[in-house]
């Protein structure tokens, strides 16, 4: 599919951190920490420097359309630990292109400063995901940060739906994601956070997690959201926060071109159905006994975003798989509404 990846030859294999062909935005790693992380920022990291090679992962992807209207990856730069092995043509959209980002390192460690930039040129249809969950490792010093900037051009579409983020005990993680959309652009951005290695009984043992989301168009802030969990300071399972649930997922369906009340209802119908299925199973098991709570229950809903930015879908569940599944169904429906084709089949991922 990628016939005119002109830049790729020069930079595609550049994983060793040489920054010769890179616009210098390295200053970001030196930037002022978010106030919630300021107290960690002065702690030095034993054995390595904050943002040093291997700890300053950078990923830059740019998609454009060729003369036939097909989307191609026209530039990619991946500095360790990021790695891009190539593109996959399995998107149900005939002009679409898919990139899976690999990260061979064990996970996000203290002092890591990662930067991801994805640019989708006019009329391109791109899908960027990760091959496996992002594990945020235990930390005793400093913190880890990822800065993600997505931009989507006129009549273009981006799906940025990475695998879940898993927060190990004592993790401190700040992620800031900004998506800038042309007025005629659309995007789907997904996020699932798992508060520990649930299978081994670890939950809410991390120190701090702050994930900030912003959608902008023409310089205006359309919608902002934040997931801020600091279990030592305030109970994540408080009523109205996560309640009886453990895993939180949000899908932002961004379509600033018009009012999306109908799309909101459509997505709500899809995700609320799943909740009913869970509730029915509950009844089969003899009711809402806490001990026998159905682990497959997902409670989810869709609501129109402010400033006609699109729709947000929130899903709360007990397991990463069920929340991811619910968001995938919403993604599928949203893509059908926006592009006329569904989301890529998760079994092929």
Partner 1 sequence: MTDEATLESFRLADSFLPVGTDSVSDGLEQFVATDGVTDVDELAALLETYLRRQHGQAGLIALRAAHVATRADDLAGVLDADRRLEATTLAAELRESSTLTGERLLTLQREVREDPFLDRYAEAVDGDETPGNYVVVLGVVTALAGVDAREACLLSCHELATAQLGAAQRLLRLGHTDVQRVLDELRPTMVAAVEDSADRSLAEMTPFAPLVDVLSAEHERADRRLFVS
Minimum CB separation from partner 1 for residue 205, in Å?
19
Contact with partner 1 (CB under 8 A) among 137, 304, 327, 334 = 304
Instruction: Provide φ and ψ at 277, rounded to 5°.
Output: -60, -40
CB 37 within 8 A of CB 143: yes
Show the binding pattern over residues 305-324: x = contacts partner 1 (CB under 8 A), - = does not: xxx----x-xxx--------
d(CA 233, CA 196): 17
Question: What is the residue whose two structure tokens read 């592009």?
Answer: 339
| DSSP states of 20-49 | TTS---GGGGGSPPPGGGHHHHTPPPTTS-
Contacts of residue 246, defined as CB under 8 A and 6 or more positions apart, other chains included, come to: 194, 195, 198, 203, 317, 318, 319
Check binding of 194 to partner 1 (CB under 8 A). no
Check binding of 35 to partner 1 (CB under 8 A). yes
Check binding of 262 to partner 1 (CB under 8 A). no
Check binding of 154 to partner 1 (CB under 8 A). no
If the CB atoms of residues 4 and 220 are measured against partner 1, the closer one turns out to be: 220
Q: Looking at 7-15, 108-116, 142-150, 262-270, which segment touches partner 1 (CB under 8 A)?
A: 262-270
The closest of 108, 91, 109 to 100, measured between CA atoms, is 91
Check binding of 44 to partner 1 (CB under 8 A). no
Minimum CB separation from partner 1 for residue 245, in Å?
7
Q: Looking at 16-24, 65-73, 140-148, 225-233, which segment touches partner 1 (CB under 8 A)?
A: 225-233
CB 63 within 8 A of CB 74: yes
d(CA 287, CA 273): 19
Check binding of 7 to partner 1 (CB under 8 A). no
Query: For binding to partner 1 (CB under 8 A), which residues are involved?
Result: 35, 210, 212, 221-229, 234, 238-243, 245, 248, 250, 264-265, 268, 272, 288, 299-307, 312, 314-316
């Amino acid at each position: 599919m990628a016939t005119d990846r002109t830049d790729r030859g020069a930079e595609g294999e550049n994983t060793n951190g040489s920054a010769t062909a890179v616009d210098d935005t390295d200053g970001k790693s030196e930037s002022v920490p978010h106030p919630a992380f300021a107290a960690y920022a002065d702690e030095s990291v034993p054995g390595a420097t904050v943002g040093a090679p291997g700890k300053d992962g950078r990923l830059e992807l740019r998609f454009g359309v060729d003369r036939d209207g097909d989307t191609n990856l026209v530039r990619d730069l991946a500095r360790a630990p990021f790695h891009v092995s190539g593109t996959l043509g399995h998107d149900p959209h005939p002009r679409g292109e898919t990139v899976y980002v690999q990260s061979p390192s064990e996970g996000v460690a203290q002092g890591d400063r990662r930067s991801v930039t994805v640019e989708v040129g006019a009329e391109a249809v791109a899908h960027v995901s990760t091959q496996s969950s992002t594990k945020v490792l235990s930390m005793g010093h400093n913190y880890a940060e990822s800065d993600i900037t997505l931009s989507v051009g006129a009549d273009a579409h981006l799906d940025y739906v990475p695998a879940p983020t898993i927060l190990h005990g004592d993790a401190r993680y700040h992620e800031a994601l900004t998506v800038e959309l042309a007025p005629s652009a659309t995007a789907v951005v997904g996020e699932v956070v798992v508060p520990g290695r649930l299978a081994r009984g670890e939950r809410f043992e991390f120190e701090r997690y702050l994930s900030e989301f912003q959608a902008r168009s023409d310089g205006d802030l359309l919608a902002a959201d934040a997931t801020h969990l600091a279990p030592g300071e305030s109970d994540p399972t408080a009523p109205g926060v996560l309640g009886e649930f453990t895993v939180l997922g949000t899908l932002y369906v961004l379509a600033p071109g018009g009012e999306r009340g109908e799309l909101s209802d459509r997505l709500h119908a899809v995700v609320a159905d799943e909740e009913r299925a869970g509730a029915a199973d509950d009844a089969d098991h003899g009711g809402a006994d806490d001990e026998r709570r159905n682990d497959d229950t997902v409670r989810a809903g869709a609501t129109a975003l402010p400033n006609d930015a699109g729709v947000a879908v929130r899903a709360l569940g007990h397991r990463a798989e069920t929340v991811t599944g619910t968001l995938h169904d919403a993604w599928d429906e949203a893509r059908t509404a926006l592009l006329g084709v569904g989301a890529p089949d998760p079994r092929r991922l």
